[in-house]
Chains A and B, each alone.
Chain A
Amino acid sequence: MSADLATEFLDRRTPLSRVRNLLHRYPALSPGIVLIVAVIVFGVISPRFFFVNNLSLITQQVAVVGTLAIAQTLVILTAGIDLSVGAIMVLASMVVAQTASQNHVPAVLALLLGLLVGLAAGAVNGLLVTRLKLPPFIVTLGTLNIFIALTLLYSNSASVNGQSLPAIITSTGATFPVFGVGVTYGVVIMLVLYVIMAFILGRTAWGKHVYAVGDDKEAARLTGISVNRVLVSVYVVAGAILAIGAWVQIGRSDAASPNAGGDLNLDSITAVVIGGTSLFGGRGTLWGSLLGALIVGVFRNGLALAGLDVLYQTLAVGVLIIVAVSLDQWIRKVRS
């Protein structure tokens, strides 16, 4: 008790711990500040940063990773990790593209087939995590390789060009102007997904249960939550989001390529971590992940405009990750 009182006493007194409590209560605050500062700094360094074409480019570059980060956030909130997000997305995109171009399946049906593949792949991950009780890291490391291999087998390692695809499938790459900035439908889809999933996470029992399971599995079980059901549903929902990400990806690159997803697994984790979601589960927000994806996009873009080598972009992202995780550790010390 006395130790408790002592920490409370300290927490109330020092300004630093007051900042910590604030960041603890609003996990999206720190990535938000970082993003604003980054935008201002890069805007000052290079006037071209604020050109409408450049802003449009940043949003387009963020659309795919941002969508994948939604799925990744769900999994990480349950104290898991999904190394296979990129692989699932690519598998779904190849199914959509192949069925539409080679098998002449109607566009909408092809997209639904992609969705089905995403759901199935997510279910495989979820069932392996809950039935075999393997760590999500190991399960998704395995399925990452399996899905990559399946993609290459299915597609014969061949890309499908956007011109051979129906307009609906590539429509996610089409732009329309918003205050002069060209915004793609893919970006809109990503934002709509954020709104829907943030609402579900914050305002439904399922959302609360996702947090509770990630927080403390045993406590959640004893409270009467079906932990396994929540976990499987999280991986399945993630699979569905990844299939939608596949659609965004085809529009973005105006092609479906079996080799497109290589960096996306780790990029999505980067966005989530920079966005303030804890890898230990149970703490974080979806909007933080969008901010995280934007931060990475802005850093890459801003450093490129400043004339720095691509290597420095990678270096900066690495530093960002370390700083974000250190910050998370420090914030978590609020727990007595």
Chain B
Amino acid sequence: MTIAEGQRPSSTLPFTQPVLKATGLVKTYGRVVGLDGVDLELYQGEVLAVIGDNGAGKSTLIKCLTGAEIPDTGEIELNGKPVQFKRPQDAKHFGIETVYQGLAVSPALDVASNLYLGRELRKAGIAGRVFRVLDTKLMRQNAKAELDRLGISTLQDVTVAIESLSGGQRQAVAVARAAAFGSKVVVLDEPTAALGVRETNQVLDLIRRLRDGGIPVILVSHNMPNVFDVADRIHVQRLGKRAAVITPKTHSMTEAVAIMTGASVG
């Protein structure tokens, strides 16, 4: 295994401690080994891409980092402090927001309800505190403002049900939710799958803006041009392990694919 030069975004950053650090993550499903001792470091101000062939353990890795799965062994540290995520809520609580592959949105609920699902805003006063009434108006206003802020122009009406939206618009909702609430880390598993060219570029822009705004991003993607476009570093996953960490500057796409498939060791 090789760790390439410029393992951290060399430029501007004084931070030496990873924001998110995983050591020796192992996850097995019966006799199938999903993760076989994976390490991962994510630093402030970077986009870390995770690439790998099908079955290399990308999604499992993401799930273990975000509380959707509990790793068998291994440690996760957030800003140097060990953390344990038993449920997705735990990771969210620490400011880690995720867009899972295949999306985690509720089709019958409207856009605003989906953005605020699991963290609804209640009305002020007795109505909210005692009768737990939701402040639907405020949530809709905020949802609209948030979508505008994120530059997601394809969604105008936040009161329509998700199921009446196109695939790209649904993806936009999921990405917007992660971007809006992720205060420490945003994790995106295949966020541009099923998107058109224009929408893909919007998501990539959004990723850059998140990074520039100080929130590091983990991006899982099959799309090499996208990865080489936005990533500062690339974590190559192979057979349940980290095969290498490279950068778009030091390696070409062909070389990355070679490491991914085992044709080269980096």
Contacts and interface: CB of A to CB of B under 8 A. Distances in A.
A224 B100 CA distance: 12
B109 A219 contact: no
Contacts of B194: 1
Nearest to A8: B166
A216 B161 contact: no
A206 B113 CA distance: 12
B159 to A, nearest CB: 10
Contacts of B98: 222
Interface of B: 68, 87-89, 92, 98, 100, 103-109, 113, 117-120, 122, 131-134, 136, 161, 163-164, 166-168, 194-196
Contacts of A220: 104, 106, 117
A309 interface: no
Contacts of B100: 222
A223 B118 contact: yes
A contact patch SS: helix
A212 B109 contact: yes
A208 B120 contact: yes
A212 B118 CA distance: 10
Contacts of A226: 87, 89
A180 B166 CA distance: 53
Interface residues of A, number: 31
Interface of A: 1, 4-5, 8, 21, 24-25, 203-206, 208-209, 211-212, 215-216, 218-226, 282-283, 334-336
Contact of A218 (B89, B92, B104, B119): B104
Contact of A208 (B68, B89, B113, B131): B113
Contact of A205 (B88, B103, B122): B122
A203 B134 contact: yes
B108 A211 contact: yes
Contacts of A223: 88, 104-106, 117-118
Contact of B164 (A24, A203, A225): A24
Contact of B117 (A204, A212, A218, A334): A212
Contact of B109 (A25, A208, A224): A208
Nearest to B134: A203
